[in-house]
Amino acid sequence: MKFFKKKIIRIPYLILLYAFAIYGFFLTGTYFAMKFKLTNHKGSIDKNNRYFQDMSDKYNQSFKIDSASMLKYKYEVLNRIILLNDFYPTNAQYIQSVYETNKDEKIALQMLDAIDLQLKDNQKYQQAKKKLAQQETNRETTALSAFQWMNIAEWQDFKIAVTKDKKYIDSVAKVTGVEGRLIVACLVGEQIRLFNSSRESYKRYIGPLKVLALESNLSYGVTGIKESTAIRIENHLKDPNSIYYLGDEYAHLLDYDSLTSYHNNVNDTMSIRLKRLVQFKNHYYSYLYTAVFLKQMRTQWLKAGHPIDDRPEILASLFNLGFQRSIPKKNPSVGGSNYMIYDREYTFGSVAYEFYYSGELADVFPYEKKRFDWKES
């Protein structure tokens, strides 16, 4: 024991003894604290929890994905991004970039809602947002088209039918340099007229079979080409002195192929010219005569100093009226045949105009940079 009484031994010994005692006490205290959950942090519910829940319900339960609703959401996204840009353009740019990349209205609206939460105390922003919401509430939204005649059942059948002819229309557009959509605008003017005047034909063929109406009396083919018009179209292709002359490269475009038979049980007494037009499934020549006529009209007016390249309604009116009514002038009139579509009167040119700029079938027959010879630019 005298050994531990020595100062040099006793002091380090006591230091170690007390250190181990303190460490043991710490371990024991930690054990009991953990056992009785005395070390747990006190949790809390975020003050905006209700908002988060409401947003979850909004997008998981009430978010409609029908076409009319998605169009409405699209406009909401764009309008709210424009509004946000007035306050926080950096955030608006982020959201716009994401939306342009993935085209997802749901995620864009969720991003905007996250911003709204941060700006809930910004009075100017909230007032502007409230005004925007009020405008949306007062706006009447419908899945119908603003062009009334496009809401008829026949129009839906026509769209299916003309889509079947895309390969012929595209082929004609390629060889003539006439925009496919412009050709279809003339087709629309003719076919919609037949929907109303040839109801029996519609019920028997167009509606159930989803095919275009084929004319075979006075006017021929799906675009209603008169034989006298077809003859003039052919003659102008070969006459270098004609005001409608398109050039040597087009001179033989409508030459006859004696090796091909265009005979069927409807056109057996017709000339080969009309037999080519009256084909049940292959409407290539209907579109070819139409395209050549349009280009000849364009050439005549261009030479006269009154270009109508960007006037599909005038070109369609002239297609309906014929060569004899084509008199180049500064302010041409839209017109052509008048006909009723249910209880409303239209002209051939106005129907062609409305279709052309409606955006309908733009995925099938897109807008080119120019109506004529766009590939040469």
Whether residues 160 and 131 fall in one domain: no
Whether residues 76 and 177 fall in one domain: no
Whether residues 134 and 212 fall in one domain: no
Asked whether residue 147 is assigned to any structural domain, the reply reads no
- What pLDDT, on a 0 to 100 scale, did the predictor assign at position 70? 75
Asked whether residue 314 is assigned to any structural domain, the reply reads yes
Whether residues 69 and 178 fall in one domain: no
Whether residues 30 and 61 fall in one domain: no
Last residue of a domain, one of 138, 161, 188: 138
Asked whether residue 325 is assigned to any structural domain, the reply reads yes
Whether residues 243 and 339 fall in one domain: yes
Whether residues 367 and 289 fall in one domain: yes
Whether residues 213 and 244 fall in one domain: yes
- Give CA 245 to chain center in angstroms: 36
Asked whether residue 144 is assigned to any structural domain, the reply reads no
The number of folded domains in the chain is 3
- What pLDDT, on a 0 to 100 scale, did the predictor assign at position 34? 56
Whether residues 192 and 249 fall in one domain: yes
pLDDT (tens digit per residue) in 305-359: 999 999 999 999 999 999 999 999 999 999 999 988 888 889 999 999 999 999 9
Whether residues 98 and 158 fall in one domain: no
Whether residues 125 and 156 fall in one domain: no
Half-sphere CA count of 186, side-chain side, radius 13 A = 32
The pTM of the full predicted model, rounded to 2 decimals, is 0.71
Out of 45-59, 108-122, 127-141, 342-356, least confident range: 45-59
Confirm if 182 and 371 have CB atoms less than 8 A apart. Answer: yes
pLDDT (tens digit per residue) in 15-53: 666 666 665 665 565 555 555 555 555 556 666 677 667
Whether residues 266 and 129 fall in one domain: no
Indicate if the alpha-carbon torsion angle 292, 295, 301, 304 is positive or negative: negative
* Host domain of residue 103: 56-138
pLDDT band for position 227 (cuts 50, 70, 90): very high
Percent of the chain whose predicted confidence (pLDDT) is above 90: 54
